[in-house]
Every structure is written in structure tokens, then in C-alpha cells.
Amino acid sequence: MKKTVLRSYAKLIARRGGNIKKGEDVIINAALDQPEFVCMVVEECYRAGAAKVIVEWSYLPKSKLDIRHMSQKRLGTVEAFEEAKLKYRLEKNPAMIHLISDDPDGLKGVNMKKYGAAMAEKMKVIKPYRDAMDNKNKWSIAAVPGEGWAKKVFPNLRKCQAVEKLWEAILYTSRVIDKDGNLLDPIAEWDKHNNSFLEKGKVLNDKKIKALHYTSSNGTDLRVGLIDGSQFVGGGEHTLGGEYFNPNIPTEELFTTPRAGDAEGIVYSAMPLSWRGQIIDNFSVRFEGGRAVEVHAEQNEDLLRQMVSIDEGAARLGECALVPFTSPIRQSGIMFYNTLFDENASCHLALGRGYSNCVKDYDKYTPTELAEMGVNDSSIHVDFMIGSDDLKVVGICEDGSKFEIFRDGNWAF
């Protein structure tokens, strides 16, 4: 990929993703796949005024060795120096940039039960720090192609061709280049994109929708209750300090946080789900009293069952997202095997943790009050795609009227 194009992408990540300002600390999480590009992002962060940029490198084959050889107890331990790092984050409030590139099958063959249990142990220590940072720091997830990932997406191409093709797909869907590969002005494109989310969101929020009813010919018939005063948001977000940033590059979704414990009916998956390095496919989830009470899957049903029983909130919903069938990611026809992209191909729901910042004036409520209002809590947040080409979504408004939001998988207004 051309250096000028990559430089523009790095700048987009620093200026719109992390929205880095003078004097700030930045932590970049990256795998060993595209070190030169990672350095471009580092440089763009410094150019934007960052005081210190830290890169935390990872390498999936090494993590796999840890999972295989370490005891479950040790694997689930947050060491004192690791906790000190969490404390530093809490004090310094650095912007976090995650550059993802891992092979979606990268954890294949590891003992998922051991890994899952160890992660749950670790979360007990990590979660209070994460909760305390919630909505305070700027963060952004963007992607770079890793070889394993590229081969998974384009299995018939040679490694270097597959990587180049995945670069093109990432840059096209992230609005850095157009369909023909010409460089755009990504920052101007993203300003336009962010505005269009604001406009659509305003229409929905003015309707005061209290429940969503999903139906599709695949059998989906699900009613999900929303929280009073919940808002549809999308594109950029604000920190509590009022700073605007783009948490996901790319993004095509308008989403809200549902009322935990208020969902009835059944929903069928529209695309495979990649979770903890494995694919769960052709599945359904049935909700009763807001809880997933029955799950089926043609592939990896046990893993799905394990997922919804990780903790109390894992069986409840934490997100309802609206994504049109015409999104560039769906149009690209590419299955990325990665949620950052695939969630933007289709309407989706998430099991697990909800988004408190979808509640109006959320900063005026305590976490307990927000939980009582229905913002779900869990150690996981897993998106799964339900947007079939004939999905219909109807909003049931406060005054009892109905508002058609989606028809045949696309916006109806």
C-alpha cells in the first residue's frame, strides 16, 4: 500500500480516532503485524501534540503458549506491576488506540474453558479500573492487516496479495480511499459521516421510542424494551470532559442501550460470530424476561452456551444497533471475521455490558442508578448480527404509536 495513503490513515486515527491533543499521553495496543504503520500512528500522535506515546505489542502465538503452559491460577493473576499500569491509566487518563490485526482463528486449539475461567478471574481486578475510566478517556479501535487474518478473508490469494487486498478493504470501508483506490480527504469524509449520524439520531430520539420490534422471514420475532430517556447515538462520542472522538474506525451504526431484563422472543443470526478465536455459526437465541434462556447453533453451540453463562449479565442484552444493508461493508461483500467490520454490515444486538452513555444525562446518575434503570453490566460485550435482507424494525413510541424504522433491511425514513 502506498505510503501517502497509509500516512493519511494514520493521521485519521490520531486526529479523529483518538483526537489527540497537546500534552496528552497515548497508549497504542498493536500486534507485530505492521510495525511501520504503527510507527506512523505514533508519529502522527506526536505531531498532534502527544507528550508520550507508549506501544504495547502483542503476539498471538506467544499468548497461545501462555494459555497452554501456565497454570489457570497464574494465567488469571493480575501481577502487581500490571495493576500499577492500570493505576497509571486511571491517573493519567491516556487516550487508548487499539490497532487490531489478529488472525480470527489464532486461538484455535487452546483450552477455552481454562482461558475463559482465567480471564474471568483477571476481570475481577481489571473491571473496577475499567469502570472508573468509563467515558473519561478517549479511545479508538482501527485495523491493520495481519497475515493470518488476510489469509482467512482471502483464502485463495498468496499471503502478500491477501494482505494488500485486506489493506484495500480496510481503507475503503474506513473512508480513506474510494472504490477505485483513489485517496480521499479522510478527515473531511469523517466530519461529514459524523454529521449524518447526528441527523438520523435526532429523528429517532425525538420519537421517544420505548421498544423495538424485530421481525424477519428467517423466524426472528423479538421485542426489546428501551430505557426511558435512552438515546440513539453513532459516529463520534463525547468524553465526560466534552472531548469528541471516534471510537470505531470504521463505523456505520446508530445504536442504543436496551433495558436489561426486557426482551421477549427469538432472534436468528444473519452472519457467523467470531468469539475468542472461534466461529459460532447459524445460531438462535430465545429471550424470556430479558434473559437468553435457550441457545442453538449449528457450529460451536457449547461455546455460545458458555458465553451467555459467563456471568449474570452475559445472558442479557447490552446493545441494539441499526445498520443499513447498503453500508459499504455489506456492499464490499467481504466477510471480515472481525466484529469491528462485520458489525457494520448488519443490524446487530450485543449480549453483555450496555452503554451508560446512551442514557440522557448519564453523568448525573450513579452506576447503581444506571443499573436500576436497565443498563446491563457484564464482563463481556459480544455483538451478533441479525440484519437479514428483509429485516423489519418497528419502534413502539411512548404515545403507543408505531414508527417504521427499517424495511427490507434498510432505513425506512
What is the smallest separation between the CB atom of 381 and Zn ion, expressed in angstroms? 6
- The secondary structure element, H or E, covering residue 274 is strand 273-275
Q: Which amino acid is located at 244 in the chain?
A: Y
Nearer to Zn ion, 305 or 381 (CB): 381
Query: What nine digits make up the cell of 245?
Result: 472522538
Nearer to Zn ion, 304 or 350 (CB): 350
Angle, alpha carbons 83-87-91 (nearest 5°):
170
Q: How far apart are CA 307 and CA 129, in angstroms?
A: 23
Q: Which residues sit at the interface with Zn ion, rule CB under 5 A?
A: 253, 255, 319, 321, 343, 350, 383
What is the smallest separation between the CB atom of 220 and Zn ion, expressed in angstroms? 17
Q: Which amino acid is located at 243 in the chain?
A: E
What is the smallest separation between the CB atom of 21 and Zn ion, expressed in angstroms? 27
Q: Which amino acid is located at 210 in the chain?
A: K
What is the smallest separation between the CB atom of 201 and Zn ion, expressed in angstroms? 14
> What is the DSSP annotation of 88-122?
HHHHH--EEEEEE---TTTTTTS-HHHHHHHHHHH
Nearer to Zn ion, 18 or 352 (CB): 352
406-411, Cβ contacts within 8 angstroms, sequence gap of 24 or more:
406/322, 406/324, 406/347, 408/325, 409/324, 409/325, 409/347, 410/324, 410/325, 410/326, 411/200, 411/322, 411/324
Nearer to Zn ion, 44 or 383 (CB): 383
What is the smallest separation between the CB atom of 251 and Zn ion, expressed in angstroms? 8
What is the smallest separation between the CB atom of 353 and Zn ion, expressed in angstroms? 9
Q: CA nearest 167: which of 184, 154, 186? A: 154
What is the smallest separation between the CB atom of 57 and Zn ion, expressed in angstroms? 26
Backbone phi and psi for residue 366, each to the nearest 5 degrees, phi listed first = -80, 160
Burial of 62 by CB count in 10 Å (0-12 exposed, 13-18 middle, 19+ buried)? exposed
Nearer to Zn ion, 262 or 383 (CB): 383
Nearer to Zn ion, 167 or 283 (CB): 283
Percentages helix, strand, coil for the chain (3-state, rounded to 5) are 40, 30, 35
What is the smallest separation between the CB atom of 8 and Zn ion, expressed in angstroms? 26
Q: CA nearest 396: which of 202, 258, 216? A: 258
Nearer to Zn ion, 186 or 250 (CB): 250
What is the smallest separation between the CB atom of 411 and Zn ion, expressed in angstroms? 16
Q: Which amino acid is located at 411 in the chain?
A: W
| Angle formed by the axes of helices 112-133 and 80-92, nearest 10° | 30
What is the smallest separation between the CB atom of 171 and Zn ion, expressed in angstroms? 21
Write down how long the chain is: 413
Nearer to Zn ion, 20 or 170 (CB): 170
Nearer to Zn ion, 145 or 354 (CB): 354
> What is the DSSP annotation of 187-211?
HHHHHHHHHHHHHHHHHHHHT-EEE
Nearer to Zn ion, 26 or 380 (CB): 380
